Amino acid sequence: MIKGAREIFKSDLRAIKNNPVVLIVLAAIIIIPSMYALLNIQATWDPYALTSNLKVAVANEDTGSTLNGTQYNVGNMLVDELKDNDKFNWQFVDEETARNGVKNGDYYAALIIPGNFSQTVLSIDTTNPQQANIEYVVNDKLNAIAPKMTNTGADTLQTKINDEIVETVDGIIFGKLSDVGQLAKENKATFLKTKSMLNELNGNLGNIDNDLLQANSVMATVNGIWPKFSAQLPVMKSEADEVKSKYDTLYNYIQSDPAKALSTVQDMESVDTKIITGLKYVDAFLVALYNQTGDENLKPIIAQVEDATTKATTVLTLLQEIEADIASSKDPSGKLNQLKTSIDQMDSAINFLANNKDNIDQAINTASAKLAMANSQWPEVRSSIQTATSKVNSVDEADLDRLIAFADTDQNGVKNYFETPVKLDKTHIYPVDNYGSALAPFYIAISLWIGCIIAVAMISMRVKSRKKYSAETVYMGRMGLFLLIGLIQSFIVAVGALLMHIQVSSQLLFLFTTIYIGLCGMVVVYSMTSAFGNAGKALAIIILVLQITATGGTFPVELLPSFFQAIHPYLPLTYAIGALREVVAGVLWSNFLYCIGVLAIFPVVSFILTLIIKEKVDKRAQWTESKLKDSGLF
């Protein structure tokens, strides 16, 4: 059998040598697997380094907010940060363009910063802090992987924003504490002087008695004058309705008769001026009342009056601008919608104020009642002032010194602490340089199996010779050619991968492992095809399909469905990929030798089983092939 096998192998080599067409076909069979492996490795070399090609829209609608007299626009600050960020191709557009762009596929995703973003971020300074939101819009239809990349980018951006806000807020808190300490340091002498002044106040409570009497006098005056002022509220309501009713007239005249439009707008200005004057009188009256009584119930009413005054003033400003446009023969149509909105707001505010006349009356009555209560409780208040004076006197100079110590707090240290209160030290046991090197074991192993399938599909398992050989001899003899092909295929794949500079712990070990895997795979695929003919080829393809998913070459096996987890240990490329990973990332010899050893079981078992069953199944396989050939379809 050995002699016959050697004769078949030599005959195959002569056929290759004497027939250039065969040589060309074999060259194609040998090169195709390397193309599959190397092209895929190159394509996935480092895709995350190219995320800057992904277009992500950013629409900043933030209008900003004021905190402690300082104007902030956190949206603009975020945009400035993104302009220095090269992770994605940021496109700064308006909201409509961003949404349409994502929908139409112009952008992979969009970040929509709302108009109240700064306001909600800075609401930490209020009694009702709110969570700030950035809308993230993504088009999952464009690509399977791109949304995952942009999702990760959005999550990273959210984390960065949160960190910046926490760092800033905590810095403000400790900064305020430091400021208080500094203030105490600068005003220590003043505080001590204040203690002295408070003691003096305690001795002047008689003057406060006189102030209370004066407040009672003011309240009596209010009760006499307020009815006259309150009678003006319905008049202002009527005047506001008049301005509102003349808007449509003004609108029509602007289109048809500019002269009448000018007269109308001037009439509206006159009425609006009266409204503003009346509102200012009411405001001055209520403010004076508040200053005397300190009644907090008056504050929302004052705010309503001032709000109505502001809106009426806005209307007057727009009317004056429209008057100027008409007088200069300009078209004021662009301002009419704004005027209409402002008039509606003014009318609504004045109506609300007029409808709340009873509430104002009630507030004044309440203020009067509180003043009466103050009169009745003043003796107790006097006693409280005396108690407070005693407590202030209990704060000694040492307490001030402890507060002053906060002035020396290291603000940079506090800022750095809250920026990274916990530092994560990452250690990569077996680091891999890039994505292409990490996927190389999978693509190399799969390409070698594909190369085996191509070889058995293109080259016949049968030997055409005048001399008759046994089935086992044919199997042994033709195996030499396939092993030679597998050897060259593996060598080319390995050399090509090395020329691409994939990461390897040892070039020699990588070359050996790749060739070993190629030969093992060739024995398995050749044995199945030799024994079962076309059925063996189909079986090799089925195993390939299963191995693409179940070997854990891309996703961890633990994430796969239970079926693939179950077959994972029984697939040859599971161990081929495992061995290559050891060579790529760093060899743990126990794992490497285990993979190499288990992988050897597959060709050994295939070889032995084929020798046992070859004679029995060979005739049936030939008969099947003959029938398929006779059909004219195969």
Instruction: Please report the DSSP string for 353-410 in residue order.
Output: HHHTHHHHHHHHHHHHHHHHHHHHHHHHHHHHHHHHHHHHTT--HHHHHHHHGGGG--
Closest of 22, 30, 17 to residue 495, by C-alpha: 30
Average pLDDT over residues 358-376: 69
**Half-sphere exposure in the Cβ direction for 446 (13 Å, CA):** 24
Residue with tokens 């029995």: 616
Q: Which of 40-54, 164-178, 379-393, 528-542 is predicted with the least confidence, judged by mean pLDDT?
A: 164-178
**Using CA atoms, how far apart are residues 311 and 328, in angstroms rounded to an integer?**
26
Average pLDDT over residues 342-354: 78
Q: What is the pLDDT of residue 336?
A: 75
Q: What is the pLDDT of residue 608?
A: 93
CB under 8 A, 24+ apart: contacts of 378-383: 378/209, 378/212, 382/205, 382/208
Average pLDDT over residues 484-500: 93
Q: What percentage of the chain exceeds 70 in pLDDT?
A: 72
Whether 417 shows a pLDDT value over 70: the answer reads no
Q: Which of 20-24, 43-47, 61-65, 420-424 is predicted with the least confidence, judged by mean pLDDT?
A: 420-424
Decide: 363 and 295 in contact? Cβ < 8 Å.
yes
Q: What is the pLDDT of residue 578?
A: 93
**Using CA atoms, how far apart are residues 582 and 514, in angstroms rounded to an integer?**
12
Report the sign of the C-alpha dihedral through residues 512, 514, 520, 522, in that order.
negative
Q: Taking the CB of residue 444, how many other CB atoms lie within 10 A of it?
A: 34
- Residue 375 or 456, more confident: 456
**Using CA atoms, how far apart are residues 283 and 303, in angstroms rounded to an integer?**
9
CA dihedral 282, 286, 288, 290 (to 10 degrees): -170
- Residue 198 or 114, more confident: 114
pLDDT band per the 50, 70, 90 thresholds, residue 488: very high
Average pLDDT over residues 107-130: 80
Whether 156 shows a pLDDT value over 80: the answer reads no
Q: Which residues contact 82 (CB under 8 A, 6 or more apart)?
A: 58, 90, 92, 157
Whether 573 shows a pLDDT value over 90: the answer reads yes
Decide: 354 and 308 in contact? Cβ < 8 Å.
no
Whether 489 shows a pLDDT value over 80: the answer reads yes
Angle at 458 between CA 455 and CA 464, to 5 degrees: 110
* Residue spans per domain, the chain: 2-42+431-463+470-630, 56-170+411-419, 194-394
Which pair of tokens denotes residue 292?
Answer: 């005397």
Decide: 336 and 370 in contact? Cβ < 8 Å.
no
Most confident of 29-38, 160-169, 207-216: 29-38
Average pLDDT over residues 108-137: 80
Closest of 377, 239, 263, 413 to residue 326, by C-alpha: 263
pLDDT band per the 50, 70, 90 thresholds, residue 474: confident
CATH classification (class only), 194-394: mainly alpha
pLDDT band per the 50, 70, 90 thresholds, residue 365: confident
Q: Which of 203-217, 239-253, 329-343, 463-477 is predicted with the least confidence, judged by mean pLDDT?
A: 203-217
Closest of 94, 98, 117 to residue 107, by C-alpha: 98
**Using CA atoms, how far apart are residues 491 and 428, in angstroms rounded to an integer?**
31
Q: What is the pLDDT of residue 582?
A: 93
Average pLDDT over residues 343-356: 78
Whether 64 shows a pLDDT value over 80: the answer reads yes
Closest of 494, 502, 497 to residue 438, by C-alpha: 502
CATH classification (class only), 56-170+411-419: alpha beta
Average pLDDT over residues 202-208: 67
3-class state of residue 330 by DSSP: coil
Whether 154 shows a pLDDT value over 70: the answer reads no
3-class state of residue 118 by DSSP: helix
Q: What is the pLDDT of residue 146?
A: 55
Q: What is the pLDDT of residue 212?
A: 67
pLDDT band per the 50, 70, 90 thresholds, residue 498: very high
Report the sign of the C-alpha dihedral through residues 500, 501, 505, 507, in that order.
positive
Which pair of tokens denotes residue 385?
Answer: 């002032």
The mean pLDDT value of the chain amounts to 78
Whether 418 shows a pLDDT value over 60: the answer reads no
Q: What is the pLDDT of residue 505?
A: 92
Q: What is the pLDDT of residue 463?
A: 73
Average pLDDT over residues 154-170: 56
Whether 94 shows a pLDDT value over 70: the answer reads yes
Q: Which residues pair with 478 in a beta bridge?
A: none
**Using CA atoms, how far apart are residues 559 and 33, in angstroms rounded to an integer?**
28
pLDDT band per the 50, 70, 90 thresholds, residue 612: confident
Decide: 94 and 59 in contact? Cβ < 8 Å.
yes
- Residue 264 or 602, more confident: 602
pLDDT band per the 50, 70, 90 thresholds, residue 600: very high
Q: Taking the CB of residue 37, how many other CB atoms lie within 10 A of it?
A: 28
**Using CA atoms, how far apart are residues 496 and 511, in angstroms rounded to an integer?**
11
Q: What percentage of the chain exceeds 90 in pLDDT?
A: 20
Q: Which of 1-10, 74-83, 396-405, 474-483 is predicted with the least confidence, judged by mean pLDDT?
A: 396-405
Decide: 485 and 452 in contact? Cβ < 8 Å.
no
Per-residue pLDDT of 8-21, as tens digits, reads 778 778 777 788 88
Whether 150 shows a pLDDT value over 70: the answer reads no
Q: What is the pLDDT of residue 556?
A: 85
Decide: 570 and 598 in contact? Cβ < 8 Å.
no
CA 432 to chain centre: 27
Average pLDDT over residues 303-322: 83
Report the sign of the C-alpha dihedral through residues 52, 56, 60, 66, in that order.
negative
